[in-house]
A and B are shown apart, each in its own frame.
Chain A
Amino acid sequence: MLAYIGRRISALLVILFGSTFLVYIAQGYSGDPSQALRGSTDPHVKAQLASLIRNLNLNVPPPARYFLWLKGVLGIFVGHFNLGLTRDRNPVSTYILEAIPVTIRLILLSTVLAILIGIGFGIISALRQYSRFDYALTFFAFLMYSLPIFWVAVLLKAYLAISFNNFLLNGSIAPTWIIVASIVSGVFWAAVISGSRQKVISIFAIAAASTGVFLALLSLTKWFTHPGLGPIMMLALGIGFAFAITFISTGLANKAALRSSLTVVVVGFVLYFPVEYFLKKYASLLTILIMLVVTIAIAIGVSFYFAKVDRRAVTRTSIITSVLAGLLFLIDKLMKTWVPYINTDAIHQRPIPTIGQRNDLLPSGNFWFSFLDSVLHLVLPTIALILISMAGYIRYSRGTMLEVLNQDYIRTARAKGLSERTVIMRHAFRNTLIPITTIVVVDIAGIIGGAIITERVFAWRGMGTLFITAIDTSDLNLLMGVSLIVSTLAVLANLVADLLYSALDPRIRVVGKK
């Protein structure tokens, strides 16, 4: 296995070398960093030119200069990582180190959500092949697939952000909108669950009615201007999660899993006030991470108590439930921060921002303010990226699932008398994951490309912005810094794809061993 990884890594290094060389040569020959200076009338132009040439080694022809640059990059192995200087004589690495976390924040959340939602919908769509839901989703996916992201972004800014901000000034929903939302929700759930005509009608009625009542309550209690969950609501939601996760993960028949995940939720509920205190007193990212670890530890402990056999399935169920319940705590805390946050001068009652990655006017030092601020700045770009990249996952997972459902072993699984849930989740979904993994991870290259545009639209100062600046000013070292990072990310994603593939498919694993 180690030999296999080694072989893959060396192949990928060759690709990295090739790609950086190509970009270097293309840019090195076509862009002239001294062009702007040559036209200038500044009396010191000669000296400036000379220092530019000296700093950037412009007297060395590009192919040879590439190796000078490469020497700096390879310095990473001896502790002297050097990406060269930008035109204004700052080290490229400082810019890059600032930009990377911004871009990763942008990509990570949207990619994870797009994958989860996309695969989920794709599989439901495959299970309801040729239903209206399937057709509607197919159309939706194609539409998303055909949208230019910068165009969607403008629409989101205009309609979602600005209208939502306007709506928050008052916070009550008009009755017509409640009715529309209820009908949409009813149609959606009826289509997803589906079944006989009678069943569909009753699902529609239940979903529509509960949505309507729920929204009306939220509107009447001015929940939107004063949001919060509170312990009771959290307990209810937590129990809901416990049932839903158990159903998908092991089936409700597995009593140990159900008991274990319910217990986890109750434990969380009991700890409501201590946790609350903790989050207030020690507000930092580290606290959140520690609490995540504690949550998972509790889940493991509880599942060991309840499950005498099949501990893996029970533990898996409890962990997922506990993390989701933990997320509720975070949401609750953010909602409590909401009212003081929107009343600050910097926000001024318009919480959904349309550009930028943070609000610089916000008073510093308040962890929860800046946390909420980051989250809110993520809203629009994340929605835009999800909409765009979800479409591919829907189409691909639908196709793969349909193919797997036609396999003989699915028929065997049914012939064994397994329940439909087990057939789908354990036998079909597990096999569907194999091809999906490769496409998802290889897609990362595309997502990074998409992020460049998204950053530009939402005026984020990340890798994409650096890239465009670099090209515009013919700043070769900066450009190389960006493309090195971007290519490395893409190449690593490829490596992960290969490893996941061999982990998921026992047939590949054996070949790897040989």
Chain B
Amino acid sequence: MALFSRRSKVVAESASSDIFNKETEGLSQGQIVLKRFFRHRGAMVSLIVLFSLVTFVFSTLGFKIFGIGYGGWWKYKITDLPVLRTNGCSIELPGCPSLSLIPGKGFGLGDHPFGQDDLGRDYFSLVMRGAERSIEVMVVIGLVAAAVGIFIGAIAGFYRGWIDAVLMRINDFIITIPIIVLGGVVSYHFGNKGILFLAFFLGILSWGGLSRLVRGEFLTLREREFVDAARVAGASNRRIIFKHILPNAIGVIIVSVTLIMSGAILLESALSYLGLGVVAPDVSLGLLISQYQDSFTTRPWLFWYPGLLIIIIALCVNFIGDGLRDAFDPRQRRRISRKDRSAERAIATKK
């Protein structure tokens, strides 16, 4: 009888779990998330595009970290002033882009792929430097906002009570104020202290939404029985927060940080556009657009390329965020598609 019951139980449970958990057999939570993420075509493509773009951008002009430098493979620096290219351009439009994606003669980057500005500066190197700056700003804002947001949200959600009340009032405050106003005031005065300094400040103003989400997650998770179990096992508050609750909130955090990042790149460009962010001689994509927006009718390339780069970066980050959201949300299950139906019909008729 005991033997029989075990068998029947296994059959009964496997029938149900087969249907609903088939994809999770023998995989850790992380692997499931990865698998679901890889199935999201848009997110995968975006990840590849973004990764190649970042590599390309940072290798163009070179970089220096902790004394180890790489010179970059591009021949011009942003301070170089080569003569305006006339060869291949119409006479009214010297310094036109030499980039050609049509196979054949002239295919490739050429001398000035994105053209030259009115002074003759190589626009490709300017845009690459601007992209570098924009990506740096994006990452710094994302990291700072994540650090502050996670810390405040976790503390508020875990301890509740008056700590929560105080922190959430601060949070209301951060959310309610249009960031462009506070950010504008701050960055107008700190823009000249370097772009990373500015990014740090903007990060400190961007954590509002994230901390609310993290707090919400903590409020639900702390009521889960495994938290009580950990406490009974003798775990300290710190261990409960970091080992038990935080890993379970990671999905929400990652998704929200990607959204902050895509917003950050737009925020930086908007501030720079208004003249409140990055200041010359430093370069950022927003600043380039603002400097050359009036050239749109005469030399449109000065307007197109920085804009396209902003869009590509922000779009990739958004799609990656969407892919991660799908991957972390177990409720998302793909419905049967028409393709699946017809494939099934084909198999049935063969039989």
Contacts and interface: CB of A to CB of B under 8 A. Distances in A.
Direct A–B contact in complex, judged by CB atoms less than 8 Å apart:
yes
Interface of A: 11-12, 14-15, 18-19, 22-23, 26-27, 30-31, 129-130, 138-139, 142-143, 145-151, 154, 158, 406, 442, 445-446, 448-449, 452-453, 456, 467-468, 471-472, 479, 482-483, 486-487, 490-491, 494
Contacts of B179: 449
B38 interface: no
A30 B189 contact: yes
Nearest to B312: A146
Interface stretch (B103-111, B120-128, B233-241, B303-311): B303-311
Which 9 pairs, one residue from A and one from B, show the smallest C-beta to C-beta distance?
A: A146-B314, A449-B180, A30-B189, A449-B178, A146-B315, A151-B307, A19-B177, A142-B318, A445-B178
Given A148-B270, A446-B178, A130 B335 contact: yes
A471 B315 contact: no
Contacts of A18: 173
Given A471-B188, A486-B178, A148 B286 contact: yes
* Secondary structure dominating the interface of B: helix
B145 interface: no
A139 B42 contact: yes
B341 to A, nearest CB: 12
B185 interface: yes
20 contacts: A11-B169, A15-B172, A19-B182, A23-B181, A26-B185, A30-B185, A130-B334, A138-B322, A146-B266, A147-B311, A148-B307, A149-B270, A151-B311, A445-B175, A448-B178, A452-B178, A453-B273, A471-B188, A471-B276, A472-B275
A456 B322 CA distance: 32
A257 B186 CA distance: 56
A491 B270 CA distance: 23
B289 interface: yes
Nearest to A146: B314
Contact of A148 (B42, B269, B297): B269
B275 A453 contact: no
A402 B335 CA distance: 13
B59 interface: no
A147 B189 CA distance: 27
Contact of A14 (B169, B286, B311): B169
B51 interface: no
Contacts of B286: 148
Contacts of B130: none
Contacts of A15: 169, 172-173, 176
Contacts of A31: 188-189
Contact of B173 (A19, A130, A406): A19
Given A26-B185, A130-B335, A150 B273 contact: yes
Contacts of B175: 442, 445
Nearest to A30: B189
Contacts of A453: 180, 270, 273-274
A interface: dominant SS: helix
Nearest to B308: A151
A143 B314 CA distance: 9
Given A142-B315, A146-B314, A453-B270, 14 more contacts: A14-B169, A15-B176, A30-B188, A142-B322, A145-B262, A146-B311, A148-B273, A150-B270, A445-B178, A452-B181, A453-B273, A468-B275, A486-B178, A487-B178
Given A19-B177, A129-B335, A154 B185 contact: no
A437 B276 CA distance: 32
Given A19-B176, A130-B335, A449 B181 contact: yes
A18 B179 CA distance: 14
Nearest to B286: A148
B293 A486 contact: no
B173 A150 contact: no
Nearest to B41: A135
Given A11-B169, A456-B274, A487-B176, A467 B319 contact: no
Nearest to A399: B325
Nearest to B315: A146
Interface string B171-204: 0110111111110111011000000000000000
A191 to B, nearest CB: 14
Contacts of B276: 468, 471
A154 B177 contact: no
Contact of A490 (B176, B289, B297, B322): B176
A302 to B, nearest CB: 44
Contacts of A494: 172, 176
B112 to A, nearest CB: 22
Interface in B238-280: 262, 266, 269-270, 273-276
Contact of B181 (A129, A406, A456, A486): A486
A129 B331 CA distance: 14
Contacts of A145: 262, 314, 318
Nearest to A487: B177
Interface in B122-181: 169, 172-173, 175-181
A441 to B, nearest CB: 11
Nearest to B269: A148
B296 interface: yes
